[in-house]
Amino acid sequence: MGQVINGIPTGMAESLDLPKTTDRSLIYDALHPQLKALLEGETDWIANLANVVAALKEAFGFFWVGFYRVKDGALVLGPFQGPVACTRIAFDRGVCGHAYRKGSTVVVPDVDKFPGHIACSSASKSEIVVPVRDHSGAIIAVLDVDSDILDDFSEVDRNGLEKIVDLLKGDAS
């Protein structure tokens, strides 16, 4: 914590301390307070989205992690890690649009069995999409996590990701 570069405090060390385990609940437990500290004190929405996707990629090695922001009447690609992806998703399309319309997390164990799934990559096998809300409760983005393993997401991921997304409440400026 408290690194100073060129006289400017950086806020905290830019590295994560993660347990060496495959138990995702332990990893989410370790990650949450570190992300909270990383996001606190930074008001730039894009910077915070970028650090969340980087942290999730580093912690879990997910195939694709990224945000789609509510913008111009659609879901528009934001910070992400993984292969290049489609840039705009209509509210009535894909798992992302479904989660947006439903207003709650959607877990898809097998994307081939989800009518309307948008296949940005054929390697993607399962998916979880979590809406991001601002302080007024309006959905301002969705977090999309894709796995190249079938049925890769459980209640542990739903809880862990929903808690992380809660840290992002604030101005989407």
Whether 45 and 172 have beta carbons less than 8 Å apart is answered as yes
150 DSSP assignment: T
Q: Quick one: which segment of 5-13, 34-42, 83-91, 154-162 binds ligand SME (CB under 6 A)?
A: 83-91
* 68 touches 88 (CB < 8 A): no
Task: Output the six-digit token pair for 138.
Answer: 């309006």
In the chain the first and final C-alpha atoms are separated, in Å, by 26
Residue 145: other Cβ atoms inside 10 A: 24
Q: Which of 157, 145, 22, 162 is nearest to 85 (CA)?
A: 145
Q: Output the smallest distance, CB 62 to ligand SME, in A.
A: 11
Q: Is 89 in the site for ligand SME (CB under 6 A)?
A: yes
- Nearest distance, CB of residue 5 and ligand SME, angstroms: 34
Query: Judged by CB under 6 A, which of 65, 120, 140, 168 binds ligand SME?
Result: 120
How far is C-alpha 46 from the geometric centre of its chain's CA atoms?
12
The Cα–Cα gap between 21 and 69 comes to: 32
Contact letters for ligand SME, residues 11-50 (x by CB under 6 A):
----------------------------------------
Taking CB under 6 A as the binding criterion, the range among 33-41, 43-51, 88-96, 150-158 that sits at the site for ligand SME is 88-96
Among 35, 127, 131, 141, binds ligand SME (CB under 6 A): 127
Binding-site ranges for ligand SME (CB under 6 A): 64, 85-86, 89, 94-96, 117-118, 120, 124, 127, 144, 146
